[in-house]
Amino acid sequence: MTGHGDDGHGHSGGMSHHERVRAVYDDAAPAYDALLPDLRVEQPVDRAMIGAFCDEVLATSDHRVLDAGCGNGRMIQELRSRGVSPQGVDLSSGMIGQARRREPEIDFRVADLRHLPYADASFGGVIAWYSLIHYDYPELAEALTELARVTAPGGILLTGFQSGAGAREIVNAYGTSGTMTAWLHPPQELGSIAERSGWTTTATTLRAPVMEPYGQGFVLARRAG
């Protein structure tokens, strides 16, 4: 569920918010894969944050990394090139299908980030790259707490998201007929939520918009304990 930009809110009859999110990404998976096959839209600051995350993971004893909300797996090659050992999980089975075709040797699973199918302390790091944007508080805290559970003490978190306040609604996300909600957070606010969810924040970063309407926020943190 690595929605870099096109997300909004809809009112499909009887579906919960996360069911709508799953349905939109399932429908959008082929178009998303064609539009965003890799990290070509990421800016130098974005890549620097990914590099810092991987460097910190490599400084720990566990180099396994969970790409949480991995979408079509476009982050996997970058993570591998930086020396960590990634796995992926996403809410959308359609996106996971794309990821498995892209990276057939990688362990990909389908799950909500609030209910992960991994044992405690399974990873040395977790990256949630624009995948927490579909969770508002308190669900955001639930997801961050679950990410902390599957990360070893001292392990590393990096999350990227749109900076701002409130919810936003974009219709026809990724060219589909679906809509879904995404929330914006100031980096320090998201860092504070992480602090209450089992993490110690080590950096909060904000970069100005380049090709998008919102500033982009990043939080780097370490698993407490």
- Where exactly are the structural domains of the chain? 17-223
Cα dihedral 164→130→152→186 (10° resolution): -10
Per-residue model confidence (pLDDT) at position 73: 98
Reply yes or no on whether the pLDDT at 8 is more than 80. Answer: no
pLDDT one-digit tens code per residue, 37-70: 999 999 999 999 999 999 999 999 999 999 999 9
- 3-class SS of residue 162: strand
The average pLDDT across 91-109 equals 98
What pLDDT sits at residue 174? 82
Split at pLDDT 50, 70, 90, the class of 7 is very low
Mean pLDDT for all residues in the chain:
92
pLDDT surpassing 90 at residue 9: no
Going by C-beta distance under 8 Å and a sequence separation of 6 or more, which residues neighbour residue 23?
12, 15, 178
Confidence of residue 171 (pLDDT cuts 50, 70, 90): confident
Right CATH number for 17-223 from 3.40.50.980, 1.10.3300.10, 3.30.390.30, 3.40.50.150? 3.40.50.150
Place of tokens 């090659």: 77
pLDDT of residue 11: 38
- Cα separations in angstroms, 119 against 146, 151, 199: 11, 9, 18
pLDDT of residue 5: 42
Q: What are 110-155's pLDDT values in tens digits?
A: 999 999 999 999 999 999 999 999 999 999 999 999 999 999 999 9
